Structure 1
């Protein structure tokens, strides 16, 4: 199956292995989002014998990329195949996954309710939001069509594969020039296109030139391709800058509607306001966790998976403590009754 076939399959709803009535029980944990972070949390919680429901619109952020990198034991693996593996593993330990888009979240006396676009309703004691982000690319014709292949963003994910090639850096801001400096380790042939960033401070320009990078301030008009491969960037003067790969700087947009509906606090980050979480993924609302890019805007796949695991461990610890406290209360009540009978 080609990448485009897998992408089409991933974007379309499909029948899950289970078909439960999701409103028929109080779930221990409801997870919104079934990417690397959400599935990592689901796997640990389901293995802890928690009743886990994953509601997944099946649109992972990295679904456009044919390969992911820097993921131990899965370097070069398809991100869509990773999600498919995660589905199988979660379901194998009785976790429930439903393909559904959540349209409403609200707090209740028992925990939280979520409503899906098909009208489904589920209630859970804890809620994990792993809906991630959407990348908004500069409005340059052809850029979106090459996204995840000839046009990428992350040096850690794709820099090594660009080693020794002609690299273009489509700088979106002066702050974003650090991407060019990171890429310098991979190639001696780097051109930084600055029209989107505006006029560069002289010291920034000198630093780029000192490190052997070219600066091009002409307006980029379109992406040039041959077949399915990028070959360069078209410029306003009619010329073409020949390139093998372009590193762009998309603007991440948080898919945080479920969190905002619950009134979770946000914090200022270099890319704007984002959901505030602690080291365990907790938000400002008790019982609500945000993992992966929902809580860490720049999280790579391994970090996203780790954040899901951390939240799962924390939640299970809380639920065990609640179960023990409830048992302790029953023991105390029974002891009180027994003492009364004795008198």
Structure 2
């Protein structure tokens, strides 16, 4: 089946839904395609988003969709996009058995988190293993927390963590103690961060780190810097500029969320390092406005 829209938004989480709102209010014909795999689906609560602090992430997304459904020019498709091509100045999107044509496209697919290979880590992701102290640190009540190193970039977060609790830095062979120069060691010491050089065997219980020698370190929470990957292979085939660094992959955009390809915009976690519901909503609002103006100016 062929369908035609002015804007197709691929990804119906916080950034994508937020981008849809100004377009809906301008009565533009918009299709939101979403497979229901929000990045923060593993978390029970969302924090650091004014007026929504402490709410369930799924409840926030459900409310957002309910508000958008009041606008008659918004359509929905619960599918996974498998291919996107530029055709005669427009975009052809394949999702399931649907062939969608759109003048503009907004990519809001989010990212996939690659976790370090530690037994028991993935099962606790979003429950007692976290990536953002601003989102989850306060609830740890200044208890015992850890930072699992993925690379040298993890040390930046490690230096922040003592504001949320007594911090242990687990090198776990991701870096060696020799890579911690005197200046860095002084900073860690000043922040009273303990350095654990022994390798982790597994994590069990709420968040008990069991070392290879059998010693157990009980934590209230463990933070980890993930490597983020773009969700879909078709993104790589559009000619978009993509930034690849030690943090992962991100689509490059202008401050107005325009990509280097005319008519394609991107917003949310796939355009920045880190992740935040509030920032994604702000990104989406900007993107929707810019996409609407592009029809006029």
Equivalent residue of 1:252, what SS?
A: strand
Equivalent residue of 1:320, what SS?
A: coil
Q: Does 2:119 align with 1:141?
A: yes
Moved over 4 A (4+): none
1:63-101 deviations in Å (ceiling 9; x for gaps): 100011110100011111111112111111121111100
**What is the alpha-carbon root mean square deviation over aligned residues?**
1.5
TM-score (norm 1): 0.82
Q: Say if 1:256 and 1:294, in contact at 8 Å, map to a contact too.
A: no
Question: How many angstroms does 1:268 deviate by?
Answer: 4.4
Q: C-alpha distance in 2, partners of 1:293/1:273?
A: 10
1:102-150 deviations in Å (ceiling 9; x for gaps): 000001115101001x221100010000011011111111111110011
Q: Say if 1:87 and 1:97, in contact at 8 Å, map to a contact too.
A: no
Question: How many angstroms does 1:218 deviate by?
Answer: 0.7
Structure with the largest fraction of strand: 2
> Which sections of structure 1, spanning at least 5 residues, go unmatched?
1-20, 322-343
Residue 281 (structure 1) aligned to one of 254, 257, 279: 257
- After TM superposition, list the pairs within 5 Å mapping 1:12-27 onto structure 2: 23-24=2-3, 26-27=4-5
Q: 1:72 to 1:54 in 2, by over 3 A?
A: same
Q: Say if 1:209 and 1:215, in contact at 8 Å, map to a contact too.
A: no
Q: Which has the higher contact order (CA 8 A, sep 6+)?
A: 2
Q: 1:277 to 1:256 in 2, by over 3 A?
A: farther
Q: Say if 2:200 and 2:210, in contact at 8 Å, map to a contact too.
A: yes
Q: C-alpha distance in 2, partners of 1:278/1:149?
A: 34
Q: Does 2:169 align with 1:195?
A: no
Q: Does 2:116 align with 1:98?
A: no
Q: 1:311 to 1:238 in 2, by over 3 A?
A: same
Equivalent residue of 1:104, what SS?
A: strand
- After TM superposition, list the pairs within 5 Å mapping 1:1-343 onto structure 2: 23-24=2-3, 26-94=4-72, 95-116=74-95, 118-187=96-165, 189-200=166-177, 201-203=180-182, 204-225=184-205, 229-230=206-207, 232-321=208-297
Question: How many angstroms does 1:202 deviate by?
Answer: 3.3
Structure with the largest fraction of helix: 1
> Which sections of structure 2, spanning at least 5 residues, go unmatched?
none
TM-score (norm 2): 0.94
Q: Say if 1:224 and 1:233, in contact at 8 Å, map to a contact too.
A: yes
Question: How many angstroms does 1:195 deviate by?
Answer: 1.7
